[in-house]
Amino acid sequence: MEYNIKNAYCKRVWDDISTRYADQDHFLQAAGLILETIGPVVDKMPDLEKYAVLERFVEPERVIMFRVPWTDDQGKSHVNRGFRVQFNSAIGPYKGGLRFSPEVNLDVLKFLGLEQTLKNSLTTLPMGGGKGGSDFDAHGKSDAEVMRFCQSFMTELYRHIGPDTDVPAGDKGVGGREVAFMFGQYKRIRDEYTGVLTGKGLAFGGSLARTEATGYGLIYFAECMLKKMGTDFKGKKCLISGDGNVAQYAAEKIIQLGGTPITLSDSSGYILDEEGITQEKLEYVKAFRAEHKKVDEYVKKFPKAKFFKGEKPWGVKADLAFPCATQDEIYLDDAKKLVANGIKLVAEGANMPTRAEAIEYFQQNKVVFAPGKASNAGGVAVSGLEMSQNSERLSWSFEEVDRKLKDIMTNIHDNAWETARKYATEGDYVAGANIAGFVKVAQAMVAQGLV
């Protein structure tokens, strides 16, 4: 993918990193889209080049890599790789999830950390950007094996994190079970009870509405987009990929707002329910997902639905699309199918699920598109609220957290919209989110000097 980077300073930085990190495709896509869009504001901030802000902005402040030895239930020893990419702390302690998945490597975590830096900035909460994880795969592992892995992982990670330094959370492959195991190990080693991890259980410092936050936040953001388009969710058919927390709670909020989700998916394929996924059906999805069963369980209970093995849901006729599974879900061919099938809006519930060429195709064909750094910021927003509750030794009600979440997502939308109108093209949420998130971080970096 070639990026149309017009600003000379941005282009020089791009040429440098695209040569140095030629093997890091995901990181380069994230950086390329940012450098392509922030040119107009870079032109107005001459101190950025003077203080080498862009060169520093695209490099993590610190990359930590370590081995994670653990023993399975048969006594066999294994070694995985652990990472923490502490990308940028200009506006607050590093904040970002831990991902346990075979796909985890430095390329993936650098792209996630860079995106997280702008995402956290957009929330307006005092959080820097970071990401981490391991190539460990929990599928098929017992609770005892997962516990031993998490304890070994935290035995190294603990020395690099803290409530005012770096506050990890869950991500793909890291849910409440894993967070609890890691929190317990951190507490045991440090002999202190602090809010060093978010996504904790409600019994030990977690926040109500955290599980729902990313999915609900995505739909709150999309609701704002639809309002700008002069419409709402009522009567809209919606495609959703994924079947985890983000997809489930995006579907739930769509149903509450009068829309009709008709697809869910996982790595094995997707289900299509033309009659619509109701709240009752969604509760069944939550139940079988809790048992780690595949999405085709749905058609066993609801035989009028169809399962398409090994396929993605982007060829189905609908109004709105929400990719909520993982990165690299929508390529150019998928984008062409979505446009041909009448999709008018795409909002990312996952991190960078849409390839750059697909984003360009959406924009050329008047599909309103929201990047994940803006539309899926609800999860980290409520993580930030969890940090506040932990610091104050408070626990807010579900309704209070949900209200704050909706306010944050509305503000992110309005900031991205107004910034795009000021610096780029009205309705270009990619440029608006990138510029709005970048300006705050860049101003802090300039003010703090060469650190």
CA-CA-CA-CA torsion sign (367, 372, 378, 381)? negative
Residue 285 near residue 243 (C-beta atoms within 8 A): yes
In eight-state DSSP terms, residue 138 is -
Distance (Å, whole) CA 364 – CA 366: 6
Residue 266 near residue 285 (C-beta atoms within 8 A): no
Residue 164 near residue 93 (C-beta atoms within 8 A): yes
Residue 101 near residue 327 (C-beta atoms within 8 A): no
Distance (Å, whole) CA 434 – CA 33: 8
Tell me the two tokens of residue 351.
Answer: 């991190």
Go through 203-235 and write b for each residue having 16 or more CB atoms within 10 A of its CB, e for each that does not. eebbbbbbbbbbbbbbbbbbbbbbeeeeeebee
Distance (Å, whole) CA 231 – CA 48: 40
Tell me the two tokens of residue 181.
Answer: 């195991």
User: Around Cβ 144, how many Cβ atoms within 10 Å?
Assistant: 11
Strands 269-272 and 306-309: antiparallel
Residue 331 carries which side chain, given as an amino acid letter? Y
**Is residue 131 annotated as part of the catalytic site, yes or no?**
yes
Helices in 132-192 by DSSP H: which ranges? 143-157, 176-190
Active-site residue, selected from the candidate residues 95, 110, 119, 131 = 131
Residue 293 carries which side chain, given as an amino acid letter? K
Residue numbers annotated as active site: 131
